[in-house]
Structure 1
């Protein structure tokens, strides 16, 4: 992270999650999230969908996965970048199909735990490169194998940030008991999102 770069601290009932952003690759998604956060749109909202070894999802005022609007009061387009992938720790836009981004987001929590998953990642990333989406296949493959992620979501969900501290909190949230529609039995709440500036050590 660069000196002077702004990052977010998402304060939840289970701990803090620190997020850096990629405005150079996904400017609208970053502007949308940061503006909502600074206007307290996300304060008090729950993580309404939690799937261990996959992701945690929030940002819906209805708390059921069907609500939320962008800061422009209408859906905005996807922003796919060759440099960004849905690695473990990625902050990505949730959607209902192409170019339907609103306020909902998810954090990728999927790990790498088997040769089968690694083989699947190899296949997906190579396919992505053949379609002109993604950086050097080997770079992406190595990163997926190193930290995990969800390569099948690349080209479908805009990556606009990444967790650089607090993945233990994300893992804890992902592991809670859930009920119908993968909703946590006990609400996990986003209490506040504050912004800080990185200072070089």
Structure 2
């Protein structure tokens, strides 16, 4: 009960100090908003879960509606693990991002196949704009009594075959960034769109 109250309080604080979130419509009263990702390999539709991850969903939707994800690269692809994007433009340069958010990995959602979760650094509260899709059941990314996990905040409802195709692309070490697992041929998120409420 305390953790739920704490999350609500933190959520309220974060939203009260975020000028971007208050200046755009992220469907704040929709519990399960949907987003369409138009990629160079096809379209994916995801349903987000604001009941379990309100801070994470609002953060993601703020980036969606502001156009941050348009014309970005999926820059990390590991077969049977993850497909990650949301941080690099088409010139392989990091895009500016907002302040990190609170880690909501203890929300009961698991890193199972087809879910979307927030990428982060070792600091558990370092997630900003980058996200990943699980292309396997990755329970080891879930929290435990001894560690923070990676916050899941939604799942694919359409386009699973597109995700599978993305997970199968050829990758190599990117010398410019000194990153492994970088697609040889660009996999592009052309546009992310918050689907209008019916």
TM-score normalized with structure 1 length: 0.72
Q: CA shift at 1:74, angstroms?
A: 1.7
Q: Deviations over 1:138-176 (max 9, x none)?
A: xxxxxxxxxxx1000001100011111111101100101
Q: Which residue of 2 aligns with 1:108?
A: 134
Indicate the structure with greater helix content.
Answer: 1
Do 1:49 and 1:56's aligned partners in 2 also have CA atoms closer than 8 Å?
A: yes
Q: What is the number of residues matched between the two proteins?
A: 157
Question: Are 1:29 and 2:22 counterparts?
Answer: no
Match of 1:165 among 158, 161, 172: 158
Deviating beyond 2 angstroms after TM superposition, the runs of 4 or more aligned structure 1 residues are: 3-6, 61-70, 80-83, 195-199
Runs of 5+ consecutive residues of structure 1 not aligned to the other structure: 111-148
Runs of 5+ consecutive residues of structure 2 not aligned to the other structure: 1-29, 144-148, 174-179
Indicate the structure with greater strand content.
Answer: 2
Kindly report which structure 2 residues correspond to 1:93-172, keeping only aligned pairs within 5 A, or say none.
93-97=118-122, 98-110=124-136, 149-155=137-143, 156-172=149-165
Q: CA-atom RMSD, angstroms?
A: 2.3
SS at match of 1:46: strand
TM-score normalized with structure 2 length: 0.73
Q: CA shift at 1:197, angstroms?
A: 4.8
